[in-house]
Amino acid sequence: MDAVPASRRVFVDSPNVRYEDDQIIADYRYSANEVTKRPNGVVHVKPVEKRLQIRTNRKVNRLGLMMVGWGGNNGSTLTAAIEAHRQGITWKTRQGLRKPNWLGSLTQASTVQIGLDTTDGSPVYVPFKDLLPTVDPKDIIIDGWDISSADLNESVRRAAVLDVGLQDQLEPYLKFCKPKPSVYKEKFIALNQMGRADNLIEASDQKVLDQIREDIRQMKSKADTVVVVWTANTECLCPVLEGVHDTADNLLAAIANGHEDVSPSALFAVASILEKVPFINGSPQNTFVPGVRELAQREKSWIAGDDFKTGQTRMKSVLVDFLVSCGIKPVAIASYNHLGNNDGKNLSSHQQFLAKKASKTNVIDDAVLSNDILYEPGEKVDHTVIIEYLPYLGDSKRAMDEYTSEIMFGGTNTIVMHNVCEDSLLAAPVILDLAILTELATRISFRSVDVKDSEFQPFTTELSILSYMFKAPIIQEGGHVVNALNKQRASILNIVRACLGLAPEHHMDLETKIPPFVLNDPNAPADEHRKLLQPFY
């Protein structure tokens, strides 16, 4: 029997879903609660329901991924991983024969519960990538920019992330990958990076912007969808100046006039926006100043970020949410990191560290705000973050955390965690997921059934469906930040389920908790229903 293509392995048999040659159209009822806090302390809840049509184009676009900082540890590792998959390379280690995998990738290595099996009631899981048509990583076209002229073979060897046996086999494929010249401004990038800076666009900001746009246009000639990802060094925080960063027009004028306070990342963001390609910021600096965000909204171009969420901070977003949800009150968190890769070297500069510290400390804010039983208005957790550069460790990052919480009757609970990981082997799958999910997002649109003659609309400019991958996700004005990892993951999965006309995964599993008669015979007398529903078992 012929293998079934991945994009057709999940078929939804429902009158609410239509599979057409080029698209899937789902009729979907979006349920939510409108809540009003009244002066007398009563919380008034009104369930509401919106009728939507969700359209997903089935044709997967040829994806071009352009990375700023392509020759860094993250960019070179991801490129090597894609090439290893593409070539089917295997290599020997002390632990035995190894082959490429995508462990750590939401789209490639995780599964989704789709329902309960009709034969035995057991949960049925399917790969995330099989729910909707998605990009195969082996088909991604990669290019990018770097302040270093080293080719990707040199970059991979310099990073020392991958086994030498794998590096040797990848050399014929990586040595021809050469980064395009990039942007270096001493005001924003640590001075300890000057030794690498031999591949620069030496021109005014306007000409730099024009060159980046031309580079993007070259990729657009090869790919249907282009995504630009900043995975370069952390910049220092940009001063947000009136008349420079506050509006789109002022920012464009500042670039034309060569204002010194326009950051390199802002130049790449503006170039991407003007070329109508999504720009994703994987570092913690404030690239998305008001002028950048206004320009993105005006040009109807997507932006997302900030700062990849991978190891220590991902664990923090899980643990603090868990503690607060249990009614335990975190009061002090001390986080210590030491690492030896170039990211660590860059962060040894104080101004760059301050940008990173902000994104690593703010990740718990939404958990604190969610529980006004534990926390008074304005109350903060005593939270400190320290990062130290230790060159010997290379890409092997050490993270140590101590969480102190208050429990009953003045007691305390302290959790200490030690996390050791290859930093770039966690970050590379996150960049892959960002590219794949962004491409998928370009093919999804929504229409209100309740509004006459409404047209299909895409996601908003701030592509917050990607928040799962960021320490400090940007959101639409008037929205609220969600940092809790499980909530962020559920958001992605339930939106994908909605594209297939499926309800959110509620994990109620009433099929296993109440008598089958109740669910299977809706015509049973009301008194029989009441009798059988007490108690649940």
Catalytic residues, by residue number, are: 307, 356, 397, 471
**Residue keyed to tokens 């249907």:** 224
CA gap 152, 165 in Å, rounded: 16
The token pair at 270 is 């503006």
Instruction: Give the H/E segment covering residue 339.
Output: strand 329-339
CA gap 65, 225 in Å, rounded: 9
Chain centre distance of CA 209? 26
* CA distances, 449 to each of 14, 29, 53, 446 (Å): 18, 10, 7, 10
CA gap 212, 201 in Å, rounded: 9
DSSP letters spanning 123-154: EEEEEGGGTS----GGG-EEEEEESS---HHH
Exposed, middle or buried, 370 (CB in 10 Å: 0-12/13-18/19+)? middle
Asked whether the beta carbons of 279 and 286 are under 8 A apart, the reply is no
Asked whether the beta carbons of 326 and 403 are under 8 A apart, the reply is no
**Residue keyed to tokens 């104080």:** 350
Instruction: Give the H/E segment covering residue 365.
Output: helix 365-369
427: left (phi over 0), alpha (psi -120 to 50) or beta: alpha
CA gap 170, 193 in Å, rounded: 27
* CA distances, 536 to each of 121, 509, 525 (Å): 17, 12, 18
CA gap 417, 426 in Å, rounded: 18
Asked whether the beta carbons of 23 and 55 are under 8 A apart, the reply is yes
CA gap 436, 107 in Å, rounded: 8
CA gap 484, 445 in Å, rounded: 26
DSSP 86: H
Three-state helix/strand/coil letters over 174-232:
HCCCCCEEECCCCCCCCHHHHHHCCCECCCCHHHHHHHHHHHHHHHHCCCCEEEEEECC
Residue 470: partners with Cβ closer than 8 Å, 6 or more residues away: 304, 305, 306, 307, 308, 309
**Residue keyed to tokens 């900030």:** 306
* Widest Cα–Cα separation across the chain: 81
CA gap 201, 264 in Å, rounded: 11
